[in-house]
Structure 1
Amino acid sequence: MFIRRLFLTCVLATFGSQNIAEPFSGNDILHACEGGEATVQQGFCFGYVFGAVEGLKWGALIGVVSKSSGEIDSEQFDFLSSAALGFCIPPTVENGQVLDIVVRYLVETPEKRHESARTLIQSALASSFPCS
């Protein structure tokens, strides 16, 4: 319960601020992800993409939890947050595959790359791993 309250306090403090930075665009993420070698940009790419995936799941879970009662275990968390987001990544999928899918989506949709990176990541995963 303490962790949940701490998390919500942090979220409210972050979003309650007047000085919220502009979100990264698909162009920003593609530029970082296109480096061939292990660089700081590649680390940023990896961290941003997987941070966005986990953040999207947590955001979806907060919406689900606010509508339900009782505790939710990790399996229910994954199911409910994935269903709410429209993507269900199979447990056998490796991190490199997720990065490849996101990069391919960004390359193949240049008309959308000015949009929020986290929105584009969600779209990429929903098109590749739709929930059945």
Structure 2
Amino acid sequence: MSVAACQLTSASWWTRNDLDKACGNKAAIVYAFGLVDGMEIGSQGGAPRYFCLPPDVVGKQILDVVCQYVERHPEERQSPASYMATAALREAWPCK
């Protein structure tokens, strides 16, 4: 595989609009879980924690928090979905 085939462009990143369209289907669930897993792995490597999920949180709660936040912020339609999802989770479950 060539290097060019592996490169991402900004057009390939999900925006708030993409996440909003996906809310309620499996793509949004996979996206939210991937973000949470990525943040967890990063924090174990020394990256800052942007949110702290309680041990009893379930996947549906994560998805609801993210989708409700996205719905409340239509003005950020071109923002990266990762920023929106992180902001939603930080608002719901800030680290103390």
3-state SS of 1:85 partner = coil
What code does the residue aligned with 1:49 have?
A
The aligned counterpart of 2:39 is: 56
Q: Distance in 2 between matches of 1:104 and 1:121?
A: 10
Shift of 1:99: 0.5
Unaligned regions of 5+ residues in structure 1, if any? Answer: 1-15, 35-41, 65-80
Quick check: 2:49–2:95 contact (8 Å CA) kept in 1? no
Between structures 1 and 2, the one with greater helix share: 1
Decide which structure has the larger Cα Rg and report it. Answer: 1
The aligned counterpart of 2:58 is: 94
Q: Distance in 2 between matches of 1:121 and 1:105?
A: 8
- Kindly indicate whether structure 1 or structure 2 has the higher relative contact order, using CA contacts under 8 Å at least 6 residues apart: 2
1:24 to 14, 31, 48: 14
Unaligned regions of 5+ residues in structure 2, if any? Answer: none
The aligned counterpart of 1:126 is: 90
Aligned-pair identity (%): 31
TM-score (norm. length: structure 2): 0.82
3-state SS of 2:52 partner = coil
What code does the residue aligned with 1:105 have?
Y
* Two-structure CA RMSD over aligned residues (Å): 1.9
Q: Distance in 2 between matches of 1:25 and 1:112?
A: 9
Q: List 4+ stretches of structure 1 deviating above 4 A.
A: none
What code does the residue aligned with 2:64 have?
D
Shift of 1:92: 1.1
What code does the residue aligned with 2:94 have?
P
Quick check: 1:53–1:121 contact (8 Å CA) kept in 2? no
